[in-house]
Amino acid sequence: MPPVNNPLLLNKLQLRTLTLLQALAEANPGPIDEATGEMALYQLPVAHGDHFHVGHHVVSGRDAAGLTNRSVWAAFDRKGLARPLDFPHALVLTKVGREYDTGDIGRSILQSHNH
């Protein structure tokens, strides 16, 4: 369910993708530019089988479709959430993107794992 406060009017795919990027930034934090608050993410996950790992979570491959979707990356760039570095391998997550409230989506797509 989209967050109650979604000022940038992100669609469901964009919200899921931003949630994953925020989780990746938290699980594998890169250097943060002190002046801008931006963080580069150089290694986006690659699915093995029907899922991939983000820190101590497992994410279904279908919930990660936006990670390789040019339209999602373009929307993030337009809305100031992220800038592509090397589509679909690396991007810069802005401070706005790191802090954007994606609501309860994380609870539905970030599953705990034990393997």
Helix%, strand%, coil% for the chain, nearest 5: 35, 20, 40
CA dihedral (69, 20, 30, 83) positive or negative: positive
Question: How does DSSP classify residue 60?
Answer: E
Residue with tokens 């800038």: 83
| pLDDT, average across residues 37-62 | 87
At residue 1 the predicted structure's pLDDT band, cuts being 50, 70 and 90, is low
Residue showing tokens 């934090």: 29
Structural domain boundaries in the chain: 12-112
Average per-residue pLDDT for the chain: 90
pTM greater than the 0.85 cutoff: yes
Q: In the prediction, which pLDDT does 87 show? A: 94
Residue 113: the pLDDT is: 67
Q: Is the model's pLDDT at 106 over the cut of 60?
A: yes
Do 50 and 61 touch, CB atoms closer than 8 A?
yes
